[in-house]
Amino acid sequence: MMKKLNHQGKGYKVKLNIAVVGCGYWGPNLIRNFSQLSNCNVFACCDLADEKLGRIKSLYPSTMVTKNFDEILKNPDVDAIAIATPVYTHRDLAKKVLAHGKHVMVEKPLASSVDQCVELIELAEKNNKALMVGHTFEYTSAVNKAKEIIQSGELGDIYYIRSVRANLGLFQPDINVIWDLAPHDLSIILYLLDEFPIGVNGQGKAHFNPEIEDVANITLSFPNGTIAFVHNSWLDPDKIRKITIVGSKKMLVYDDISQNEKIKIYDKGVEAPPYYNSFAEFHFSYRYGDIYVPRLNQYEPLQKECEHFVDCCLNDKQPKSDGYSGLRVVSILESANKSIRNGGGKQPISFEKSVAPKTRVSKPLQYDVAVGMN
Ligand SMILES: NC(=O)c1ccc[n+]([C@@H]2O[C@H](COP(=O)([O-])OP(=O)(O)OC[C@H]3O[C@@H](n4cnc5c(N)ncnc54)[C@H](O)[C@@H]3O)[C@@H](O)[C@H]2O)c1
């Protein structure tokens, strides 16, 4: 880690040395984005497969590549490690990183169970290190715009949210479709609503691999009456990434596949008559108003996510998508899985609300789409 002296003669860090573990599909995206940051150096990359490392070495000749995770763990020049390996490895790898006094960013979902997430959070707090989860959509311009619109009250009370994430494949060998795809939907919904659900129902079906559901629905019930439906599938003819938010005043559709019109606001709604004396007088009135498309800032969300992680490591800030954020998502996944296996009945969520973040932050996190995301 490069250090400079401040006016009090104390050292402060200006450049973070990071290592990326897992160079399969997603890892190279992390490597590319970290290497584009002026305050970050991709010091090392690790994978178990020679061909993955060979590809990275040809793209980044000055980066050290290794199959030996311990080698980067024990290297005092490595300040932080980003983990993009299969989900079942997340806990063990992240635990070692934190135990070696380094910051860690873990791809979604944070770990395979609530207990594992709590273990990582406690270790990060004990060692005063950043623990961040790769909830990439929280860093998108579209999701931040939708949050801004909800918070402004423009949509009114939120009646329901429907989130669909479906395509043909990619089947995962170790996790079912909700552990693969729903972390995105759930992190977006929790981020948008700033609420935690009181219960969850799940239904799913495994058509190919026993116990690995390839299509599933999750229903979340929120304390204020809002309901959210998540549909995930690896068995759909179309690639769909669409979230519909229906409010008492307006409706918002976020279509992540659309290039230029990711968010549309519909001035549509239904009103029941305030009173009526006979069935003949009972008429709902339907409003079909304008549709508008807000302007969104253009940037790569992963770049913002990587930039934010480096900032948190260098400046002792709590990540926006911190360990607690990872825990909240995993707690819903765990309960949804139980519901799927138990015939779809409502499950409480095994996450103690009382587990409030004990922050390692000295300054509050400033993360404003208008400032940070141009
Ligand atoms: N944020 C996003 O939008 C996003 C998108 C895709 C994947 N992901 C996440 O990224 C992670 C990886 O997914 P992927 O699709 O890249 O998987 P992948 O199978 O393509 O790649 C995983 C890589 O990890 C390597 N690996 C496995 N165990 C290892 C170990 N112990 N040490 C070092 N390397 C090891 C494998 O050799 C492989 O190259 C998952 O958690 C996934 O959910 C996130």
Cα R_g (the chain), whole angstroms: 22
Residue 167 included in any domain: yes
Let me know whether 127 and 256 are in one domain.
no
Residue 363 lies in a domain: no
Q: Would you say residue 9 lies in a domain?
A: yes
* Ligand 1 close to Cβ of residue 48 (< 6 A): yes
Q: Determine the Cα–Cα distance for residues 111 and 90; give it in Å rounded to an integer.
A: 6
Is 295 within a domain?
A: yes
| Residue 337 to residue 203: CA distance in whole angstroms | 9
Q: Is 47 in the pocket of ligand 1 (CB under 6 A)?
A: yes
User: Does 118 reside within a domain?
Assistant: yes
Q: 263 phi and psi, to 5 degrees?
A: -120, 130
Residue nearest to atom 27 of ligand 1 (CA): 85
Query: 90 C-alpha to center of ligand 1: Å?
Result: 10
Burial code (b: 16+ CB inside 10 Å, e: under 16) for 177-202 equals: bbbbbbbbbbbbbbbbbeeebebbbb
* Residue 226 CB–ligand 1 contact under 6 Å: no
Residue 337, CA distances (Å) to 83, 100, 178, 285, 332 in order: 24, 33, 8, 40, 8
Ligand 1 atom closest to the Cα of residue 302 is 1
Q: Are residues 125 and 99 in the same domain?
A: yes
Distance 29 CA to ligand 1 centre (A): 11
Specify the ligand 1 atom closest to the Cα of 52.
Answer: 39
What is the residue-level pLDDT of the chain in tens, covering all 374 positions?
666 655 555 556 689 999 999 999 999 999 999 999 999 999 999 999 999 999 999 999 999 999 999 999 999 999 999 999 999 999 999 999 999 999 999 999 999 999 999 999 999 999 999 999 999 999 999 999 999 999 999 999 999 999 999 999 999 999 999 999 999 999 999 999 999 999 999 999 999 999 899 999 999 999 999 999 999 999 999 999 999 999 999 999 999 999 999 999 999 999 887 777 777 777 888 989 999 999 999 999 999 999 999 999 999 999 999 999 999 999 999 999 999 999 999 999 866 544 555 444 433 333 333 323 32
164 within some domain: yes
CB-side exposure of 261: number of CA atoms within 13 Å? 8
364 Cα–ligand 1 center, Å:
32
Tell me the CA–centroid distance for residue 218 and ligand 1, in Å: 25
Examine residue 189 and state whether it is found in any structural domain, yes or no. Answer: yes
- Ligand 1 atom with the shortest distance to the CA of 184: 3
Same domain, 155 and 294: yes
- The helix-helix angle for 141-152 and 177-193 (nearest 10°) equals 40
Contact 104/80 with Cβ under 8 angstroms?
Answer: yes
Residue with tokens 């300040």: 79
Residue 33 and residue 17 in one domain? yes
Pocket test for ligand 1, best of 85, 96, 105 (most atoms within 8 A of CB): 85
Q: Are residues 88 and 186 in the same domain?
A: no
Asked whether residue 256 falls in the same domain as residue 211, the answer is yes
Are 186 and 282 in the same domain? yes
Record the tokens describing residue 132, joined without a space.
């961040």
If one residue of 23, 25, 165 were mutated to test the ligand 1 pocket, choosing by the most ligand atoms within 8 A of its CB, it would be 25
Across-strand partners of 164?
231, 242
153 and 282 part of one domain: yes
Ligand 1, atom 21, lies closest to the CA of: 24
Looking at the structure, tell me whether residues 129 and 208 fall in a common domain: no
Distance between Cα 53 and ligand 1 center (Å): 13
- Tokens standing for residue 279: 């069935």
Quick check: CB of 330 below 6 Å from ligand 1?
A: no
Query: Could you tell me if the CB of 21 is within 6 A of ligand 1?
Result: yes
- Residue 202 identity (one-letter amino acid): G
Does the C-beta of 54 come closer than 6 Å to ligand 1? Answer: no
Q: Which residue of 33, 107, 180, 309 sits with most ligand 1 atoms within 8 Å of its CB, as the best mutation to test the pocket?
A: 107
User: The whole model's pTM is what?
Assistant: 0.92
Structure tokens at 232: 């995930």
Are 126 and 166 part of one and the same domain?
no
Query: Which of ligand 1's atoms lies nearest the C-alpha of 180?
Result: 43
Which tokens in the block code for residue 148? Answer: 């801004």
Residue that is written with structure tokens 């079942």 in the block:
88
The residues facing 2 across adjacent strands are: 15
Give the pLDDT score at 2: 61
Structural domain boundaries enclosing 16: 2-137+305-322
In a shared domain, residues 156 and 173: yes
Among 214, 118, 119, which Cα is nearest to 175's? 214
Number of domain units in the chain: 2
pLDDT value of residue 273: 75
Cβ-contact 68, 46 below 8 angstroms: yes
The verdict on the CB of residue 100 being under 6 Å from ligand 1 is no
177 in a structural domain: yes
Can you give the CATH number for the domain in which 185 is found?
A: 3.30.360.10
Residue 216 phi/psi, 5-degree rounding, is -160, 155
285 and 144 in a common domain: yes
136 CB near ligand 1 (under 6 Å):
yes
Which amino acid residue places its CA nearest to atom 39 of ligand 1? 24
- 92 Cα: distance to centroid of ligand 1 (angstroms): 14
Contact predicate 226/150, CB 8 Å: no
Mapped to the 3 state alphabet, what secondary structure does the chain carry? CEEEECCCCCEEEEEEEEEEECCCCCHHHHHHHHHCCCCEEEEEEECCCHHHHHHHHHHCCCCEEECCHHHHHCCCCCCEEEECCCHHHHHHHHHHHHHCCCEEEEECCCCCCHHHHHHHHHHHHHCCCCEEEECHHHHCHHHHHHHHHHHHCCCCCEEEEEEEEEEECCCCCCCCHHHHHHHHHHHHHHHHHCCCCCEEEEEEECCCCCCCCCEEEEEEECCCCCEEEEEEECEEEEEEEEEEEEECCCEEEEECCCCCCCEEEEEEEEECCCCCCCHHHCCCEEEEEEEECCCCCCCCHHHHHHHHHHHHHHHCCCCCCEHHHHHHHHHHHHHHHHHHHCCCCCECCCCCCCCCCCCCCCCCCCCCHHHHCC
